[in-house]
Amino acid sequence: MSSEKVLQFFNIVTDGCKAQTKRVRFSHLSSFFNFLKNNLDLNFQNPCDLPMLRKLFQPTVTISWTILEKETVDEIIFRTIKVRNRLILELMARGGMRIGEVLKLRLCDIQDRKLIIRAPKSGKEQEIVFIPQKVADRLREYARQKCENPNDRIFPISYEAARIMVLKAGRMVGIHLRPHDLRQFCATYASRSAAPIEIISKIILRHANLSTTQLYLGKISDTEAIRWIENLYA
């Protein structure tokens, strides 16, 4: 049995299935052929055991997030003296923004507590980010000082410079901090504060699917689970 015939058969029986379902069924099919090889014919060649097929149906890598505590994030922000850097950190940690979205912000994108994200990752024409009033006030004041024209970027630095800044901010409190860690913290903190999953997904993270949002929410430890149960029935 050739690998081509196996792939042809596999495509027929999994037509219309989700990618994850296809990966699971491919794993089952490969296990079946390995069973035949190990128990019936040691010279049998598993038709699924080809680099091309393994790559095509390789399992997805589960993203593992380290949950940042609110006290840690607050300390990082409060110990950041430079106004520009502090605002960048706050927009990610309080507004759930991606670092690329923060760096693209222009003076004309500020509308009180709303920020306009133009040409976002989703492919839409624009998206809206909501931020706390205190952050909005400081951002507007800073932008007016730094920008001469409405289309001037508020933070005219490179992605690499911003990434290094975030890394250094984390080192102040002894952690390895990445820009996306702050966006993930924003979602996790909102979840722990009993914000509806729809708000976290559609408003804070601006995801198309709730399943994507769930990847951002950190795992709950036994200690935290017990604390929540006690609070529910206190």
pLDDT in tens, the chain (234 residues): 677 777 788 788 788 777 777 888 888 888 888 888 788 877 888 887 777 777 777 765 555 556 788 999 999 999 999 999 999 999 999 999 999 999 999 999 999 899 999 988 877 889 999 999 999 999 999 999 999 999 999 999 999 999 999 999 999 999 999 999 999 899 888 888 888 888 888 888 888 777 667 766 656 666 666 766 776 676
48 and 75, same domain (yes or no): no
45 and 75, same domain (yes or no): no
pTM of the model: 0.67
What pLDDT is stored for residue 123 in this prediction?
Answer: 79
**Residue span of the structural domain in which 127 resides:** 70-227
Contact 86, 77 (CB under 8 A): yes
Amino acid type, 127: E
First to last CA, the chain: 64
What pLDDT is stored for residue 61 in this prediction?
Answer: 54
48 and 76, same domain (yes or no): no
100 and 164, same domain (yes or no): yes
Amino acid type, 203: I
52 and 152, same domain (yes or no): no
Amino acid type, 199: I
Alpha carbon dihedral 23, 27, 28, 29, in 10-degree steps, equals 100
What pLDDT is stored for residue 13 in this prediction?
Answer: 78
- Per-residue pLDDT tens digits for 53-85: 777 777 655 555 567 889 999 999 999 999 999
38 and 106, same domain (yes or no): no
Question: What CATH number does the domain containing 217 carry?
Answer: 1.10.443.10
Structurally, the chain folds into a number of domains equal to: 2
74 and 47, same domain (yes or no): no
Assigned domain for 234 exists: no
88 and 48, same domain (yes or no): no
